[in-house]
Structure 1
């Protein structure tokens, strides 16, 4: 709880200054007359409450909002069990805000949150379920006063969302009455049952959001409703090997609609949706889903995102494709190559760049753009960050090596986000690897400004003997060298004899070796390498390279380069050499390695975008069309359906309390979701 009596007094002072007649209900007979001034008073308080910078919790607001029982027509003397009337009223306001229809869910929730019980004002402990039921069901409130409480609850949710405070809709709350089995497995019948229920509930909630934000460029005198196109597209995308031509016939056989478009009409209208319009529709839908589903622990603080490029299934054709005089394909949207073999067909791709949330938050696709020939990586990052930063608070953006350019870094800094990506190794970077290998250093951090613009200046003897330079700009760009996966040390093991155990220096050395191994494993995870494919070990390679060193004319051999991996970042948690550790002394090698590991290990989450691309294909309508706009719409609409699946998976995890067991992977697989969604995802509720 961040609110205090002092912050509440600040709100009241501001409220009385901005609303001179507050509280309005004092001048009205709210018991037998007009009850609605109660709603006005509460709404004014709520507006001022969430305007305070320290008030960012819905439950906290409920605890502090003033609900006078006497103004709601209560006979206080008639209360049973001596429970505070105002606390009971606030408890039902909480129930309404949470979207619970009965007292069981309310009581179970409060029973699990004793601190909230105290904040609501229950001095002698939580009221019984029977008492909570009587408040709402034994005529203690008139129907009009009940509606006032409901209105206050809706105002509270709406104002909270306006101030970016998490306030999930009813469908996005877990059902607390669900019995959780002892061991949660993906093939468990309870998982299946909850997936079926949640898929139905979420689609009924999400479908109106989708259809309100997706618009087709069609005339007004159409006979087939726009929603039939969107329903059919979702229906077709969830089936394997189904195209628009045969998919619309299958959809017609299962839908309750009287009129359904043909396959050619379906494609004709969807391919008229341009990339900008498709992007806006997907963003608006995703933004509203985020707003409706945000909880205290998801999508609230800064999130990790990844930017990458994916391509469609290869478009192979023996049909002549127009080329210019240099042999380049004139269609700027068609990327790829022509095979040299006469028996092999030309292979082209349509490509899309996207920005996705990765890590432990809900993995959602925030935005995407189609990639055409000549589109720079800088422009891709700029366009995606421009829209994504307006949707969520981004802490760190991660990209692969093809985005390792200074202009990309500048764009990230312009948008106020930190970046992390592998760097490219030119001759000077390879020389640094040689110096590090000679000095047997595990980790090296330097200012990015220490490198040259093109990284190709010559290397002098000073580069290998000078101490690491210092730089006071902790928040600036940095370059970090860490051990590559194929360079893991194993020759630093502890000797298993009595002398080494009893010797203090030996114990200290052994602890360092264990820590080194842990750090190397962290770096290995960040590079996404398979531990079974680890090549020559670090120490052995050092010995071999030393033997050949005299034969090397210049430093910076290929062998040295393979020992380290280079990362570039502006993350402030990385300090440059020369800074002091916690004890005031200069950081040791191990402290430096730990510091680097805390930042670099974040990069392993980047691979979540690759998994996302694989799963999105499951939702995408198949096509052989050469129209890039139709293909891009297929991709983005599949991203929208992917987002709905990930929300369903989160809610099933919350209901079954399986978040710890499935932190990094879905509990509800895409195949299971699609199997169930086929019955709901493309069929109407009515327009």
Structure 2
């Protein structure tokens, strides 16, 4: 075991992606083999099985951390090293880098792929018959490969995957799509929740992660659909901005704030579904996985029935309110008084002489571009203004969507299930990526600093 540990430490020091490079190096350096006590150079399959099957995840991470530490220490004292070590922790980019680049994703590809095998493989299933020639996990490996390469579709990705994988048999692009299409929306969501639960269990082993926090619910949309949507009108619906364009829409619930920004659940949106149904569904999933304290939503969720449902669960909320006639009039009065902040109680009618009590909080925007009542924003909260500062965390879900969409495989298919699977798997890759950030930081520094994308 000590010999194998040193072999893979050598592989990590050089940054070789595949075992083939390690074997070639050993073949051309017999004196090194003698120093390592090797009588013969192990073949590629032996090296692969050792890393992926014999070594535990903890041991693999130990080797990776040890190699990085050796490279940094050696470089600091002027020793020539085989590659430049990564001195920044994952996701700790310069302030000017407001979004995550493709290279940053590729830099973490090995860690993400390793975690996919631990999180996804036991939770996902294609429900195929026994005896299939291509192992089921090859499909999840291929989907991961598609997600880690920007804008890669199944056919092209299947061809490139052949050269990057150590598997003997891999699916063709059309076969991969056919298998995914056989999964129902309900099956995909159930598998997703099982995988996220496994991921939460893993990060919960660190003292820096608390299985509780603030949940943000929001809706995102795919790029505008340009083709013929005949027969798909209930799935390719309008855009959030009420333009004349059409797009697929997805809703998510995500941890925000000081927690690791893991997407707890995702669901597609069909025509006719109410915001109340969507929020209730996502909260059911979230509360099965973590303890939710506060719910943050955008103004498209400012329905009194949604707010009442959240309050009935014993949760707090902060939601901006669309300004109607009374709110505009109040904002104008505040402007005349040069008053920056104002709170008032409001009863929202639920019907049948039932009301939801909330607090309206008027807040003047700093450096507002308008000189009239539009300088003010109005928020609703059932816990007063004390929770208003938390609303700033909601921006994380928007920045998260940008990263999630980079993890999505490309497709022109109108198949609703396939489209949703691509989005859900991208959410899972993103969540694993952010969990890796926590685990690496804790391993190297003993602390977790919430990363800003």
| Same-fold call, TM cutoff 0.5 | yes
Cα deviation, residue 603, structure 1: 0.8
Question: 3-state SS of the aligned residue for 1:260?
Answer: coil
Q: Which residue does the alignment assign to 1:155?
A: none
Q: Which residue does the alignment assign to 1:413?
A: 311
Cα gap change, 1:201 to 1:484, in 2 (>3 Å): closer
Q: What are the superposed Cα offsets for residues 302-338 of structure 1, whole Å, 9 maximum, x if unpaired?
A: 3112111111122212x4x43xxxxxx653111137x
Q: Which residue does the alignment assign to 1:581?
A: none
Q: What are the superposed Cα offsets for residues 420-474 of structure 1, whole Å, 9 maximum, x if unpaired?
A: 110121112222223333444332222231x6679xxxxxxxxxxxxxxxxxxxx
Q: Which residue does the alignment assign to 2:182?
A: 272
Q: What are the superposed Cα offsets for residues 613-669 of structure 1, whole Å, 9 maximum, x if unpaired?
A: 100112111000000100100011111111111112223333443968x53415xxx
CA distance in 2, matches of 1:248, 1:265: 10
Normalized against structure 2, the TM-score is what? Answer: 0.72
Q: 2:153 aligns with which of 240, 243, 253?
A: 243
More strand by share: 2
The yes-or-no answer on 1:216 pairing with 2:157 is: no
The yes-or-no answer on 1:363 pairing with 2:261 is: yes
CA distance in 2, matches of 1:219, 1:247: 25
The yes-or-no answer on 1:657 pairing with 2:445 is: yes
Q: 2:210 aligns with which of 299, 321, 338?
A: 299
CA distance in 2, matches of 1:448, 1:613: 33
Q: Which residue does the alignment assign to 1:257?
A: 167
Cα deviation, residue 356, structure 1: 0.8
Normalized against structure 1, the TM-score is what? Answer: 0.49
User: RMSD across aligned C-alpha pairs, in angstroms?
Assistant: 3.4
Cα gap change, 1:444 to 1:391, in 2 (>3 Å): same
Equivalent pair of 2:112/2:433 in contact (CA under 8 Å) = no
Greater Rg by CA: 1
Q: 1:435 aligns with which of 325, 328, 333?
A: 333
Cα gap change, 1:433 to 1:212, in 2 (>3 Å): same
Superposed, 1:53-72 pairs within 5 Å as none
Equivalent pair of 1:206/1:289 in contact (CA under 8 Å) = no
CA distance in 2, matches of 1:201, 1:439: 56
Cα deviation, residue 209, structure 1: 2.6
Q: 2:382 aligns with which of 565, 570, 574?
A: 570
CA distance in 2, matches of 1:266, 1:479: 51
Q: 1:634 aligns with which of 392, 406, 422?
A: 422
Aligned residue pairs total 365
Equivalent pair of 2:322/2:378 in contact (CA under 8 Å) = yes
Question: 3-state SS of the aligned residue for 1:307?
Answer: strand
CA distance in 2, matches of 1:375, 1:171: 46
Superposed, 1:545-560 pairs within 5 Å as 559-560=372-373
Equivalent pair of 1:178/1:656 in contact (CA under 8 Å) = no
CA distance in 2, matches of 1:482, 1:193: 36
CA distance in 2, matches of 1:228, 1:254: 12
Equivalent pair of 1:404/1:423 in contact (CA under 8 Å) = yes
Cα gap change, 1:359 to 1:563, in 2 (>3 Å): same
CA distance in 1, matches of 2:279, 2:154: 33
Q: What are the superposed Cα offsets for residues 16-66 of structure 1, whole Å, 9 maximum, x if unpaired?
A: xxxxxxxxxxxxxxxxxxxxxxxxxxxxxxxxxxxxxxxxxxxxxxxxxxx
The yes-or-no answer on 1:398 pairing with 2:296 is: yes
Q: 1:480 aligns with which of 361, 376, 391?
A: 361
Question: 3-state SS of the aligned residue for 1:613?
Answer: helix
Cα gap change, 1:213 to 1:663, in 2 (>3 Å): closer
Question: 3-state SS of the aligned residue for 2:246?
Answer: strand
CA distance in 1, matches of 2:201, 2:216: 21
CA distance in 1, matches of 2:173, 2:123: 23
